[in-house]
Amino acid sequence: MEGALDLFLQQLLNGLTIGMIYALIALGYTMVYGVIQLINFAHGEVFMAGAYLAMTALVFFGTLATPLPVWAVFAAVVLFSVVGSAALGAGIERVAYKPLRGSPKLTALITSIGMSFFLQNAVMLVYGAKEQSVPDIFPAGRLEAGPLSVSLLQGVIFAVSIGLMVLLTRFVRHTRTGKALRALAQDPDTARLMGVSVDSMIRLTFVLGSALAAVGGALFGMYYGSVNFHDGYLAGLKAFTAAVFGGIGSIPGAMIGGILLGIFEAMGAGYLSAEWKDVFAFVLLGAVLIFKPSGLLGENVPEKV
């Protein structure tokens, strides 16, 4: 019989892994909301596109006659996915949301839902409706630290996600562009008067959010070993929940919300019932909306959507 503590730690790791990915996606939701008060429902699809691009690159590297080192392949795959998805994110903003600037918020919200359907079906037409297998590049070894044992890929997921979150936080806090972004989130009109280029800042937000989602998608595809054009739906919904849980509009909120949601789900599924896993996630969403609508770290702003 294995110890209850080992089991608990294992469940904690299970939850942390998916929580990191939720956090990466949630950042895109929260940043876009912070800047233009739009819940971009197409964001889950950008994440899914990131996973497909990573899969495509992995398949390509698998066909090379002389295999490259694992780290080089990993970096190239993530880069390919990030560039492709960032372009997609910027494209979506240009085509679907920019023409609607100034129109009622609901119009853009509904457009984002339409965009989500469009992207899902576009990917289905390009890649086919079938699940696609993602080649495994990481060796099977495990990293051991005392009672904890994580697979190499889990270690990579932790390192990459935490690294990106630190980088993003520093960028937003300490650079000129980051300051402009925060100014825009605070008061778009005044920001414009101060010489902030609103259009290019909004584009940058979409590019950053999409790039983070692409990293999440690439890690997600490698971790689970398969991708489906439908994957963006549930993962996007969970990440949205995480963003609201942490306080929509708040960057640290999205990170903490994502990680906590992952752990919360894993504990619910592991100790209560896996049948109710999604229920736990959405009960959490409901509870936050009822008792603390601004979320864990969110500011108390009158409703905007």
Binding site for other proteins (CB under 8 A): 1-2, 7, 10-11, 14-15, 17-18, 121, 124, 128-131, 133, 136, 151, 220, 224-226, 228, 230-231, 233-235, 265-271, 273-275, 277-278
Tell me which H or E stretch contains 291.
helix 277-291
> Would you say 1 or 193 has its CB closer to other proteins?
1
Q: Which is nearer to other proteins, 10 or 37 (CB)?
A: 10
DSSP letters along 183-206, please? HHHH-HHHHHHTT--HHHHHHHHH
Q: What's the rounded Cα separation, in Å, for the pair 169 and 182? A: 12
**152/297 with CB nearer other proteins:** 152
Residue 132, H or E segment: strand 132-133
Cβ 155 to other proteins shortest distance, Å: 13
Q: Considering the complex, state which of residue 179 and residue 277 has its C-beta at the smaller distance from other proteins.
A: 277
CB of 25 to other proteins, least distance (A): 13
Phi, psi of 226 (to 5 degrees): -150, 150
Nearer to other proteins, 129 or 143 (CB): 129
SS3 286: helix
CB of 277 to other proteins, least distance (A): 6
DSSP notation for 214-282: HHHHHHHHHHHSEE-TTHHHHHHHHHHHHHHHH-TT-HHHHHHHHHHHHHHHHHIIIII-GGGHHHHHH
CB 57 → other proteins: shortest distance, Å? 19
Q: For other proteins, give the closer residue by CB, 54 or 180.
A: 54
Three-state secondary-structure class, residue 161: helix
Q: How many CA atoms lie within 13 A of 100 on its CB side?
A: 17
Under a CB-based contact definition with an 8 Å cutoff, are residues 47 and 73 in contact? no
Closest approach of Cβ 118 to other proteins, in Å? 12
Q: Which is nearer to other proteins, 161 or 228 (CB)?
A: 228
From the CB of 48, what's the least distance to other proteins, in Å? 11
Shortest reach from residue 232's CB to other proteins, in Å:
11
Q: What is the rounded distance in angstroms from the CA atom of residue 166 to the CA atom of residue 277?
A: 29
Report in angstroms how near the CB of residue 45 gets to other proteins at its nearest: 14
> What is the separation of C-alpha 219 from the centre of its chain, rounded to a whole number of angstroms?
11
With a CB cutoff of 8 Å and minimum separation 6, the contacts of 6 are: 147
- Residue closer to other proteins, measured from CB, 45 or 265: 265
**Could you tell me where the DSSP H helices lie in 97-197?**
105-127, 152-174, 176-186, 188-193
